[in-house]
Amino acid sequence: RSSDLDGSDTQGRLLLTIARDVARRFELGFGAGLHLGSGTGVAGALRLGVATPLRWLTPVLRYDAAVLLTRPSARAEHAVTLGGELSY
């Protein structure tokens, strides 16, 4: 369907996230909540951050998933993101 590709649907996720330091250099996080927009359903996220010698820079690997309930069926969405967080 062309409506899936044109980007005209407003979507977003509302997640409650908890993170913990694991070992000395890693931070592991988990989030759970809702996906709203083109279908509504449950959403979750996993996040792995790595401490660097530069305290203001954290490389991050994140996995997001959602199960969207669209009548009469359900659809799953997944995304993997590699990025960086800057703190100041």
Whether a cis peptide bond, with omega within 30° of 0, leads into 59 is no
The pTM is what? Answer: 0.77
Span between the terminal Cα atoms of the chain, in Å: 43
Q: Does residue 87 surpass a pLDDT of 70? A: yes
Q: Does residue 9 surpass a pLDDT of 80? A: no
Q: Does residue 8 surpass a pLDDT of 50? A: yes
Mean pLDDT of the chain: 88
Segment 37-58 shows an average pLDDT of: 92
Q: Does residue 60 surpass a pLDDT of 70? A: yes
Instruction: Kindly list the distances between the CA atom of residue 23 and the CA atoms of 27, 49, 57, in Å, as whole numbers in the listed order.
Output: 8, 12, 18
